[in-house]
Chains A and B, each alone.
Chain A
Amino acid sequence: MASLSFILRRILQMIPTILFILVVTFVLVRLLPGDPATVMLGDRGREADIARINAQLGLDKPLVVQFLYFIANVFSGNLGNSIALRVPVTTLLVERLPVTLLLTGMAAAIAVIFSVPLGFWAALRQNRASDTIIRGTFQVGLSMPVFYVGLLLLIFFGAHLHWFPIGGYGHGFGDHLYHLFLPAVTLALSLSAVLMRNLRSAILNVIDAEYVDFARSKGLRGYVILVRHVLRNAVISTVTLFGLQVGVLLGGAVITETVFAIPGAGRLMIDSIYGRDYPVIQGLTISLAIVVSLIFLATDLLQAWLDPRIMR
């Protein structure tokens, strides 16, 4: 019961957060110089055309009125139409958001698969050659810009070896996974480095704790100590970091999606900001805010499960 009220409390907390993000986004994008018609028509637009299009879009009304319309629409499930692409925002979200979520999910999974065992290994072999090699390699991965890593992977595994397609998203779920593998590895690289280093130092902290010495003196076997006592306590901070980093990963998807020609939400967001496509920016912001809040919620629950004291 305690956990149920904890979850409910956290979900209720999400509502003001998302509302706040909504107001900030709504105001911020309108503070940017330029409006949708100006950008769409570019250098060639004549004043009369710009005024006519902005009036058609309702952008000539006071900001407060626009905001109230927007809020009323959101609560009736209508996010409006994209100004540039002329289709409902919900259609775009349904097309684009799953792509980015799949990419981020794959990247997160790859990062965990790599960083947990290697973090362990490095910690247990502290300051030995293998530790140095693991940390050094990840350091390089962390330092290289995403677009550069992406391009290198494309040239080597795509153009030379022909193991993977060069960009695109493919058709059907299996094909999507195949197309997203290289971009997911690219995204996962920096996350793995951060997670690995964090886990390594957390394990090193825990391994010296008195309760580990106690467990050891009880005669428990090595791997039992490692899994039940060391890992469980060490991963708490790594889980927090992981939750935060997955949020960052969603943002990092922008560059990856551009290099690998993936039609995801990141690219849509950039295009929409440049195009001052207010309804799409707002729709994407709401959706991403909900996704990130849910990730944080999941992180909190995982932490609570690892350390029940947190729930109180």
Chain B
Amino acid sequence: MNAMFKALGLGAIVLGASLSGAAAVERGGILTYARQADSRLLDPVYNQGNVNIWVLSSMYDTLILPTDDGKGLKPGLATNWQVSKDGLTVTLHLRDDIKFSDGTPITAEDVRWSLERAANPEHGIWNFMLGSIDNVEARDEKTILLHLKHTDPAILPALSVFNAAIMPEKQYEATKGASDEDKAKTFAQHPVGSGPFVLTTWERGSSMKLARNPHYWAKGEDGKPLPYLDGINFEIIPDDATRILKLQSGEIDGAEMIPYARVNELKQDPAVDMELFPSTRVQYVTLNVRPKLEGEKNPLFDLKVRQALNYAANKQAIIQIVTHGVGKPMTSFMSSGTPMQTGTKPLYPYDLAKAKALLKDAGYPDGFETSIMVIAGNQDEIGIATTLQQMWSQLGVKLDIQQVDDGTRDTVYRNGTFHMRLSVWTDDIADPSEFASYALYPPTIGALHTGWSNDKATKLFEASQQELDPKKRLEEYAQMQKIFNTSGPTVPLYETPYAVALSKNLHGFNQIPLGNNIFRWAWLSR
């Protein structure tokens, strides 16, 4: 274990050095980072989306951490782990001398309690990722055993997801509240955490301040404990232009969610470090493929029609028009940053003649009328929809663009009465099973609520969920992707990175492909 720890330390040094370049790190300082929207509930288990998830990793550590490429795993609060031969038991060993932000030790009992709380099907909406856990055993002070109901190839990556964060049992349970969720709300106001930073003040809708956790376990490249920063101030600035202006005038050190239209301009700005961090974000059109819609025959039910729409959509043109060249074509329905993505070349290269022939074959030589739902005021979505409208008009397809708000769209989508909608996906876990279960496994959400199903894909997915041999699982995923990419209910458009603008003084910051903002290595030069 000692050797392992040294190896990790070395890894940390190499990584730290690679992120910061040749310069030696400087300690101290408060980093100000502008976010587009505020968090809502900073509880790992009950939170409901990215505004919370992307900062939770700064406040809570997991047993295992995702690697910076978002595809692999590295030690976190656990230094090493083994899966038993039958695949039904996972043994993890806790790191020595780990403490919560209030200085109390992180014990095996805290781990047992945290994981069982996260896996409880009554708690929140993320418990399914830990659904294979039957019970958790704290064998001794340093050893945790997960007893599984069935084999689960994604259990290790699942332990690196935000909801499997380690929290302090005693402090949490001492919080007032009638239910566990009530306690979570109260505890999240003044949390005691296991991550590199701890929340100090939060003015909702305006700012959130984090201070460094003096008890954090990881060491920096100078051999002293991380993080390098004294703290982080998150400022909420919803307007894109204002966020950028604040960065350019030096009032802040970083700004997230830069619109693609501004990326090239900011690359030219000598005061700004315009970063495009690799992501798992994919943008696609979701098609309702039920045989009938509103009592009439649905053209989108016909595979040839879907293929025609795919061939007639000029992805390169959309990438230029909407993302200003920042995006790249998709090679599978999953992002190229997702493990076991097997795509090699762009899907459905633009071919108008082929599209026309397919549509004629399908019995729609003169096209048909259909509609697409986009979020009102969302420039990306409106841009994509109008471009598609023009491209598909070449086939005689009349696309009616319906601008609605989120609530309206989600409801129509769930009812299964929509024709088309634009959709975005980002992975939360370094495993393909999350998106695959939503996209092609109907029991989860009816294959993106499209009514699509394929028996072979369903069987492959079920097998892959318990397959422990990585080679076989990869083969299953290759087949699933082939089926979905050639006959699925989507028009894949593009992948885009996370566009984040930083000041030249900020070093070592990273947003990993799963979206988590990693501040533990960040430092400010003066």
Chain A residues within CB distance 8 Å of chain B: 32-35, 38-47, 49, 84-87, 92, 95-96, 147, 151, 154-155, 158-159, 162, 165-169, 258-261, 263, 267-268, 274-276
Chain B residues within CB distance 8 Å of chain A: 40-41, 48-49, 125, 185, 203-206, 235-239, 241-242, 245-246, 248-249, 251, 405-408, 410-414, 423, 425, 438, 444-445, 448
Residues of A within 8 A of B423 (CB): 43
Chain A residue, CB-CB nearest to B43: A86
Instruction: Report whether B414 and A38 are in contact in the complex, using a CB–CB cutoff of 8 Å.
Output: yes
Instruction: Report whether B410 and A267 are in contact in the complex, using a CB–CB cutoff of 8 Å.
Output: no
Instruction: Report whether B204 and A92 are in contact in the complex, using a CB–CB cutoff of 8 Å.
Output: yes
Residues of A within 8 A of B445 (CB): 43-47
Residues of A within 8 A of B41 (CB): 85-86
Chain B residue, CB-CB nearest to A53: B125
Residues of A within 8 A of B413 (CB): 43
Instruction: Report whether B242 and A268 are in contact in the complex, using a CB–CB cutoff of 8 Å.
Output: no
Instruction: Report whether A43 and B410 are in contact in the complex, using a CB–CB cutoff of 8 Å.
Output: yes
Instruction: Report whether A85 and B407 are in contact in the complex, using a CB–CB cutoff of 8 Å.
Output: no
CB distance from B490 to the nearest CB of A (A): 13
Q: Nearest 4 pairs between A and B by C-beta?
A: A34-B407, A263-B206, A263-B205, A261-B237
Chain B residue, CB-CB nearest to A50: B414
CB distance from A272 to the nearest CB of B (A): 11
CB distance from B440 to the nearest CB of A (A): 15
**Which of A45, A162, A261, A274 interacts with B407 by CB under 8 Å?**
A274
Chain B residue, CB-CB nearest to A262: B206
Residues of A within 8 A of B425 (CB): 43
A42-B239 contact given A92-B204, A154-B245, A158-B245, CB 8 Å threshold: no
Residues of B within 8 A of A169 (CB): 206
Instruction: Report whether A263 and B410 are in contact in the complex, using a CB–CB cutoff of 8 Å.
Output: no
Instruction: Report whether A261 and B410 are in contact in the complex, using a CB–CB cutoff of 8 Å.
Output: no
A35 to B406, CA, bound (A): 10
Chain B residue, CB-CB nearest to A151: B241
Instruction: Report whether B205 and A40 are in contact in the complex, using a CB–CB cutoff of 8 Å.
Output: no
Instruction: Report whether A34 and B408 are in contact in the complex, using a CB–CB cutoff of 8 Å.
Output: yes
Residues of B within 8 A of A154 (CB): 242, 245
Residues of B within 8 A of A158 (CB): 245, 249
Chain B residue, CB-CB nearest to A268: B205
Residues of B within 8 A of A44 (CB): 125, 438, 445
A202 to B131, CA, bound (A): 73
A296 to B248, CA, bound (A): 43
26 contacts between A and B (CB under 8 A): A33-B407, A34-B405, A34-B408, A38-B407, A38-B414, A39-B406, A39-B407, A41-B48, A43-B413, A43-B448, A45-B445, A95-B205, A151-B241, A158-B245, A165-B251, A167-B242, A167-B246, A168-B235, A169-B206, A259-B241, A260-B239, A261-B237, A261-B239, A263-B204, A263-B236, A274-B406
9 other contacts beyond A45-B445, A47-B445, with CB at 8 A cut-off? A33-B408, A38-B410, A38-B411, A42-B406, A43-B448, A45-B125, A86-B41, A155-B245, A261-B206
Residues of B within 8 A of A167 (CB): 237, 239, 242, 246
Residues of B within 8 A of A32 (CB): 407-408
Interface centre among B203, B204, B412 (most CB of A within 10 A): B204
Residues of B within 8 A of A260 (CB): 239, 242
Instruction: Report whether B185 and A261 are in contact in the complex, using a CB–CB cutoff of 8 Å.
Output: no
Residues of B within 8 A of A86 (CB): 40-41, 185
A24 to B425, CA, bound (A): 37
Residues of B within 8 A of A151 (CB): 241-242, 245
Instruction: Report whether B249 and A159 are in contact in the complex, using a CB–CB cutoff of 8 Å.
Output: yes
A42 to B235, CA, bound (A): 25
Chain A residue, CB-CB nearest to B189: A87
Residues of B within 8 A of A49 (CB): 125
**Which of A35, A38, A41 interacts with B125 by CB under 8 Å?**
A41
**Which of B205, B238, B410, B448 interacts with A96 by CB under 8 Å?**
B205
Residues of B within 8 A of A35 (CB): 407, 411
Residues of B within 8 A of A147 (CB): 239
A162 to B445, CA, bound (A): 52
Interface centre among A87, A166, A169 (most CB of B within 10 A): A166
Residues of B within 8 A of A38 (CB): 407, 410-411, 414
CB distance from B250 to the nearest CB of A (A): 9
CB distance from A153 to the nearest CB of B (A): 11
Instruction: Report whether B242 and A40 are in contact in the complex, using a CB–CB cutoff of 8 Å.
Output: no
A290 to B276, CA, bound (A): 48
A47 to B48, CA, bound (A): 15
Instruction: Report whether B407 and A46 are in contact in the complex, using a CB–CB cutoff of 8 Å.
Output: no
A92 to B242, CA, bound (A): 24
Instruction: Report whether B48 and A40 are in contact in the complex, using a CB–CB cutoff of 8 Å.
Output: yes
CB distance from B441 to the nearest CB of A (A): 12
Instruction: Report whether A274 and B405 are in contact in the complex, using a CB–CB cutoff of 8 Å.
Output: yes
Residues of A within 8 A of B203 (CB): 95, 263
A39 to B411, CA, bound (A): 9
A33 to B249, CA, bound (A): 42
A259 to B242, CA, bound (A): 6
CB distance from A157 to the nearest CB of B (A): 11
Residues of B within 8 A of A162 (CB): 249
A275 to B410, CA, bound (A): 12
Interface centre among B408, B425, B444 (most CB of A within 10 A): B408
**Which of A39, A92, A165, A166 interacts with B410 by CB under 8 Å?**
A39
Chain B residue, CB-CB nearest to A44: B438
Residues of B within 8 A of A155 (CB): 245
A279 to B19, CA, bound (A): 46
A85-B245 contact given A33-B407, A41-B48, A169-B206, CB 8 Å threshold: no
Instruction: Report whether A84 and B249 are in contact in the complex, using a CB–CB cutoff of 8 Å.
Output: no
CB distance from A109 to the nearest CB of B (A): 24
A299 to B140, CA, bound (A): 74
CB distance from A183 to the nearest CB of B (A): 11
A87-B204 contact given A158-B245, A158-B249, A274-B406, CB 8 Å threshold: yes
Chain B residue, CB-CB nearest to A39: B407
